Amino acid sequence: MKVFHDFIEARNVTNAVVTVGTFDGVHLGHQAIFKRMKDLAQSIGGQTIVVTFSPHPRQVLNIDSSNLRFLSTPEEKLRKFEEFGIDNVAIINFTREFSRTPSEVFIKDYIIENLKPAYIVVGYDHHFGKNRMGDFDMLSELKKKYNFKVERIAAQDIGHVAISSTKIRHALAQGNVKSANRLLGYTYSVNAEVIRGNEIGRTIGFPTANLDFPKEYMLFNRGGVFACMVDYEGLTYEAMANIGHRPTIGDRAEDDLLIEVNLFDFDGNLYGKKLTVRFIDRIRDEVKFEGLTELKAQLEMDREQAKAILNG
């Protein structure tokens, strides 16, 4: 997959099948768009290209930016684009000036002028341009004027629930990783570096890897214990993770959540290493115990429950 950082770099894409958006999470709805793009590109001997933006438009426009949370980092998003068969990605620098581009001007001066698309494929609720005035109806009007075809992918749903990044974020905020995974079409994961903690877990036989996780990617509002799989240096380990503020130890503020992971059947130093933690299911709420003895007894039960989930 080729990655470009402006429209001019992408001009060599031939018979382009184009889509535009932020694609946070690259969920099943996005995947349906990509599948159709690939089918169209194959039918005309063309190439797929995703046009996306950095920073996220809402960050630039200060639309509730302090509360913004993201399902995927830019690096994770690129890996998913490639995994789902996209040929090219154009990452466009989003600025306030760029946000003022009228919808038709965006299509004409950026998409048509540089990419000369054979097709533009959009999701059912796609909007673009200044004040998000552009939509599928506008593209349908412009296609004859600028000689391209346009397709809209219908809303994708599971169990009569329309898939969206917002719904997935909400599910994760509630700790409902099983629901989030169904809507994503894959297992939600976080990738982060292990930082040094106070090592209390080690003293009770449950050493944990504390993850240095940026606030803008912390989607869990509800703490708890989760059954997980952890990928580390080409190997996969069964594990359980605690997300919360460790009320038994009492060393963190109520809103200062920490992700700490206990890998089963692992003995080694993980400080400074990167782990990918894949969340499979939620086991229980975070609870304040009377002391470390009571905490250890509960963790032993949690471990058995996590193993039953992971091997069920």
Is the predicted pLDDT of residue 249 greater than 60, yes or no? Answer: no
User: Could you tell me which residue, 78 or 203, shows the higher pLDDT?
Assistant: 78
- Please state the rounded mean pLDDT for residues 235-263: 77
Q: How far is it, in rounded angstroms, from Cα 199 to Cα 97? A: 49
Q: How far is it, in rounded angstroms, from Cα 312 to Cα 308? A: 6
What's residue 254's pLDDT?
52
Q: Is 298 helix (H, G, I), strand (E, B) or coil?
A: helix
Please measure the distance between the N-terminal and C-terminal CA atoms of the chain and give it in whole angstroms: 37
Taking the mean position of all CA atoms in its chain, how far away is CA 203? 35
Residue of 244, 241, 247 lying closest to 220 (CA atoms): 244
- Please state the rounded mean pLDDT for residues 295-308: 93
Exposure string for 8-42, b = 16+ CB within 10 A, e = fewer: eebeebeebbbbbbbbbbbbbbbbbbbebbbebbe
Per-residue pLDDT tens digits for 13-52: 999 999 999 999 999 999 999 999 999 999 999 999 999 9
What's residue 267's pLDDT?
86
What's residue 127's pLDDT?
93
Q: Is 186 helix (H, G, I), strand (E, B) or coil?
A: coil
Q: How far is it, in rounded angstroms, from Cα 68 to Cα 51? A: 21
Under the banding of pLDDT at 50, 70 and 90, the label for residue 171 is very high
Domains recognised in the chain with CATH numbers: 2-161 (3.40.50.620), 187-310 (2.40.30.30)
